A = this chain, B = another copy of it.
Amino acid sequence: MSNYELCPKFEAAMQLLGKRWMGLIISQLLVGPQRFGEMESSLPISGKLLSERLKELEKWGVVTRNVYPEIPVRIEYELTKRGREMEPIIKAIQYWAENSMDHSNLDEK
């Protein structure tokens, strides 16, 4: 595939990751499958926003929602193969953001 053909996919992926808290939500799920409540209590975002983001990630095939018919019902969110394959991206960006960016650039934006 040529670089030009890759562009829309590349940019769509970046736009997804550029949304607030997306990187952190994916990082959190890289640890392993988690229940909604667990994620909500370990992330600094509202349940409403978390649920919105998880729906977007499901639509993208990055996250899957598993329902276990127990009593009470157990619902877990898990990265799909495609989601787990994002790990090198997340790590590369985290490394770059930590080592190469300074606050002045954020202020300028």
A interface, CB within 8 angstroms of B: 1, 3-4, 6-15, 17-24, 27, 44, 59-61, 81-82, 85-86, 88-89, 92-101, 105-106, 108-109
Could you list 12 further interchain pairs (A-B, Cβ under 8 angstroms) beyond the known A9-B98, A17-B18? Answer: A7-B20, A8-B106, A10-B17, A10-B23, A11-B18, A11-B21, A12-B106, A13-B101, A18-B18, A60-B108, A81-B100, A82-B100
- This chain: copies in complex: 2
Complex interface: chain B residues within 8 A of A10 (CB): 17, 23-24, 93-94, 97
Let me know if A23 and B11 touch, CB within 8 A: yes
Chain B residue with minimal CB distance to A87? B92
Interface residues of A, dominant DSSP: helix
Let me know if A13 and B92 touch, CB within 8 A: no
Bound CA–CA A98/B82 (angstroms): 11
Let me know if B9 and A106 touch, CB within 8 A: yes
Bound CA–CA A22/B4 (angstroms): 12
Q: Please indicate which of the listed interface residues A20, A27, A81, A96 has the most CB atoms of chain B within 10 Å of its own CB.
A: A96
